[in-house]
Amino acid sequence: MAREILDPPLITSELPPQEVIFGSTPAMQIVRQTVAKAAGANIPVLIRGESGTGKELIATLLHGLSPWAAGPFVRVNCPAIPGTLVESELFGFEKGAFTGAMLSKPGRVEMADGGTLFLDEIGDLDPMLQAKLLRLLQDGQFNRIGSHQDRQLNVRVVCATNRHLEEEMAAGGFRRDLFYRINAVTVALVPLRERSDDIPCLVEYFLMHYSRKYGRRPMPLSSVLMSELRRHSWPGNVRQLENLIKRYVILDSEEVIISELLQANDDLGLPVPNGACSLKDVTREAVAKIERKFILRALQASNWNRRQAAGALKISYRSLLYKIKEAGIPPHRTPSAARMKEEA
């Protein structure tokens, strides 16, 4: 971890196409338009969103589309740097500034000169350093530790957070003046559960990417598995989907993936009532979700033999067919074209 924190970060992988990054949902198209307009302006950008929604990806894209694209892109993972090293890592130090400072060293801020400084999870930045960051944003100046010489920088600052900074300000943990400085333009990323129509496009890209990376030729996903992916709540968002497809490419097993999705989604995913609601409707929805899970498990265990699954569930074959249709489960496990060719 120490090397990851201390070594200068580099971008070594190409970005996905924008059609993959933004998908087709209206909310993400607004994000796309905001990024396009903000990229060329020398103003701070705050990227907000849940963990795994792709905040670093958007920051990298902002850099690549900006006039500073030829300069460095320097990422600072604020919560990952030990508290005793935060100031020296950000702003650098002069020789003799403290015990063990045998040589002068530039900080991450200085390394980003002429490019983009990306402060990931800015909400976790030590309050004592927020004032120095505020000065950098105001006039482009900072001091190394142990130096009284002002250094001038030309750097574009992009911040990201999964925290509610307004609540942090109210609690005194985040400076109000800094918030308004970094919040000149806000990019609000949409959680994956609210853009399920984009899942097929993301799956196709991840399949292609990791097939090339690992030299594998996995089967295309069946309609059953794709249906489950679109229904999943995705608490880890796009990052969770990416890791899942990566495992699929390596293991080439739909059963393993379906089982993992079912186990990861033990909660019923029902909304918390904030007003009047029908207990009867909520109960009916909960029962339907539970039934669907058990039907899928029974079908999986019986290798999609519906009569055998009906016996395991102790219901009639006709009742199972009705429930499969009602739950939106494909009546057969649909093999991919490639698998059908191999089995022919």
153 burial type by CB count under 10 A (0-12 exposed, 13-18 middle, 19+ buried): middle
pLDDT range class, residue 265, cuts 50, 70, 90: low
Q: What is the pLDDT of residues 232-255, one digit of tens each?
A: 889 999 999 999 999 889 887 776
**What is the secondary structure of 140-200 as a DSSP string?**
SEE--BT----EE---EEEEEESS-HHHHHHTTSS-HHHHHHHTSEEEEPPPGGG-GGGHH
When mean pLDDT is compared across 27-41, 176-190, 270-284, the lowest value belongs to 270-284
- Please report the pLDDT score of residue 80 as a whole number: 82
> Is 120:78 a contact under the CB 8 Å cutoff?
yes
Is beta strand 151-152 parallel, antiparallel or unpaired with respect to 141-142? antiparallel
Report the alpha-carbon distance of residue 300 to residue 315 in Å, rounded.
17
Report the alpha-carbon distance of residue 245 to residue 249 in Å, rounded.
6
- Please report the pLDDT score of residue 281 as a whole number: 66
Task: Report the predicted TM-score, pTM, of the whole model to 2 decimal places.
Answer: 0.74
pLDDT range class, residue 177, cuts 50, 70, 90: very high
Q: What is the pLDDT of residues 53-94, one digit of tens each?
A: 999 999 999 999 999 999 999 999 988 877 668 888 888 888
pLDDT range class, residue 315, cuts 50, 70, 90: confident
pLDDT range class, residue 156, cuts 50, 70, 90: very high
Does residue 100 carry a pLDDT above 90? no
Q: What structural domains does the chain harbor?
A: 2-190 (3.40.50.300), 192-266 (1.10.8.60), 272-337 (1.10.10.60)
CB neighbours of 41 closer than 8 A, spacing ≥ 6? 185
